[in-house]
Amino acid sequence: MLVTVTSRSGKEVVKGGIQLSENATVKDLKASIHKRTGKLYPERQRLSLPLVSGQTRPTVLDGDKRLCDVFPEGSDHIVILKDLGPQVKYSTLFFFEYVGPLFIYPMFYFLPLYKFVGLPEKRVIHPVQTYATIYWCFHYFKRIMETFFVHKFSHATSPLSFVFRNCCYYWSFAVFIAYFVNHPYYTPVGETQMYIGFGLGIICQLANFYCHIILKNLRDPKGQGGYQIPRGFLFNYITCANYTTEIYQWLGFNIATQTVAGYSFLVVAAYIMSDWALGKHRRLKKLYDGKEGRVKYPNRFVILPPFL
Amino acid sequence: MAGLAILKRIYLAVYNWVVFAGWLQVLYWAVQTLRTSGYEAVYAAVERPLQFAQTAAILEIFHGMFGLVRSPVSATLPQIGSRIYVTWAILWSFPETRTSPIVSSLVLSWSITELIRYSFFGMREAFGITPSFLQWLRYSTFYILYPTGISSEVGLILTALPYVKVSEKYCLRMPNRLNIAFDNYFATLFTLASYIPGSPYMYTYMIGQRAKALAKAKKSA
């Protein structure tokens, strides 16, 4: 069959279209487009069908579907191609996000940086500051290890611009928090409060790791898409228990270190994660609606019992 | 429903004309004072209507957020942010800046721009007409008034800098239990730096708005 490939404005992207066998899939089409255009590797392509009257959002084409199944009866074989821009793997994105805080924070602990803002170079290092550095670095080291050895990613890629945007977020907060926790005039909290804080944090990091293991095992080893209902451990009560444990882990860090910087990071992170959690919760409820023999998604908290 | 639309229109009409009246006072007293007393006295003469008219503009952020007007928050926020900053954090907070001649260029640039803008929107909301002369003014005077206004803002902030540093006003020092500090001098320098990307952004935004407005006018002509 002959498939015409146009841009969203209607201009033909691949002159003369692409000839494919009757059994070809969307994946084959993307590979052919890549061959013909050179720079548009498959992850950069978003293929959709032309909008039907009344449609606001286009039907995006799924990689494994056969082309003959995708085109409506008797229609012209036209696909619309959107260039998603340069893409990076999720693991690449996460690595750069996390490596910044991993190195930035200890700089404020070890190096005499405060003299550059006119503060005394000599300072007394409180135990909590040492523990905080270890805790923080362990946290981001754990995240990097999980990125390469635990997580199984769904979409293969993310836009390159996300690297700059996300690194700004993580790295700026790292500077903000590290500056104040390691400050020469830092005021530590009482010992009991410190132990409670770090204790909570460690427990929640362990719980968070276990949540990640459960999520990893949910995924089909062949990398098939589709959402599964998470089960076991805290997931029986909370849809995004992994985010819950992450938030409480930061709460522990803040109880121990007590800075406005740290708490503001907690608030922003909780807000972002709640946004994601609501999306995931809704998708799961929609997918598992209990109709036509499908399982009904159980009643669970979204992310932060008892509020959400 | 229709009732809500009428309510919105009445509210916007009242808002635009009331703030217009504020800026009219600012311009009037500024010009009067320049003619009789001189530039050192301009601030004292315009302070109250200036603070009123400029602070009222904070409402416009909510107008955008709640969809009352089409302007994106990304364009209104930096504009109103810089205006409120100069009005309160510089002029009101550091009286030493008030006798500068830059106050006059600031106040004249702001008031002329705002009179055009608020009367343009006021006409549209209250009477449903958009006089082409007013529209032309709105989308052309910014070519001059944005640079003069922005330079005045930057000039006043620079004038205030030594006083910001010495007075330590609004500074929060450590040690404290919340382990937070705020240095107004650094914050002011940072604000100045933000004008470097911010000014071209606002200027090109207006140029884009002008192109859109003229294209629309041409189409309906």
B176 CA to chain A: closest CA distance, Å?
7
B153 is catalytic: yes
- Cβ–Cβ pairs < 8 A, chains A and B: 29
pLDDT tens digits for range A240-263:
999 999 999 999 999 999 999 999
Give B101-153 pLDDT, tens digit per residue.
Answer: 999 999 999 999 999 999 999 999 889 898 989 999 999 999 999 999 999 99
* pLDDT above 80: residue B220: no
A236 secondary structure, DSSP code: G
Distance from CA of A214 to the nearest CA of B (A): 38
CB distance A61 to A79 below 8 Å: yes
Ranges of residues in chain A whose predicted pLDDT is under 50: none
Query: A180, B177: Cβ pair inside 8 Å?
Result: no
Res B54: pLDDT: 96
Contact B175 A258 (CB under 8 A): no
Q: What is the pLDDT of residue A70?
A: 79
Judge whether residue B78 has pLDDT over 60. yes
Partners of B179 on chain A (C-beta within 8 Å) are 180-181, 183, 186-187, 257-261
Rounded distance between C-alpha atoms, residue B169 and residue B180, angstroms: 16
Judge: A259–B180 Cβ closer than 8 Å, yes or no: yes
State yes or no: is B15 an active-site residue.
no
Q: How far is A186 from chain B (nearest CA, A)?
A: 6
Looking at residue B134, its pLDDT comes to 92
Q: Is the ipTM of this complex over 0.85?
A: no
Which pLDDT score is estimated for B24?
97
Contacts of A155 (CB under 8 A, 6+ apart): A90
Q: Of B125, B153, B170, B205, which residue is the catalytic one?
A: B153
For chain B, give the percent of residues with pLDDT over 90.
79
DSSP chain B: -HHHHHHHHHHHHHHHHHHHHHHHHHHHHHHHHHHHT-GGGHHHHHHHHHHHHHHHTTHHHHHHHTTSS---HHHHHHHHHHHHIIIIIIIIT-GGGTTSTHHHHHHHHHHHHHHHHHHHHHHHHHHS---HHHHHHHTTTHHHHHHHHHHHHHHHHHHHHHHHHHH-TT-B-SS-TT---B-HHHHHHHHHHHHHHHHHHHHHHHHHHHHHHHHHHHHH-
Question: CA A79 from chain center: how many Å?
Answer: 29
CA distances from B121 to A67, A103, B124, B131 (A): 53, 52, 5, 11
Total Cβ atoms within 10 A of residue A131? 18
Count CB neighbours of A266 within 10 A.
Answer: 17
Mutate to test the interface with A, among B174, B176, B179 (most CBs of A within 10 A): B179
Residue window 191-210, chain A: list those with CB within 8 Å of chain B. none
> B118 to chain A nearest CA, in Å?
36
| Interfacial B residues in 140-199 facing A (CB < 8 Å) | 174-181
- Catalytic residue, chosen from B40, B125, B146, B205, is B146
Q: Do residues B206 and B142 touch, judged by C-beta distance below 8 A?
A: yes
Contacts of A73 (CB under 8 A, 6+ apart): none
pTM of the predicted structure, to 2 decimals = 0.82
Q: What does the pLDDT read at residue A14? A: 83
Q: Which residues contact B80 (CB under 8 A, 6 or more apart)?
A: B57, B58, B60, B61
At residue B218 the predicted structure's pLDDT band, cuts being 50, 70 and 90, is confident
Q: Which of A108, A185, A194, A255 to mutate to test the interface with B (most CBs of B within 10 A)?
A: A185
- Give the pLDDT confidence of A18-57 residue by residue, as tens digits: 888 888 888 888 998 999 888 898 888 999 888 877 787 8
Chain B residues near residue A185 by CB distance under 8 angstroms: 174-175
Q: Which residues of B touch A187 (CB under 8 A)?
A: 174-177, 179
* A9 near B CB under 8 A: no
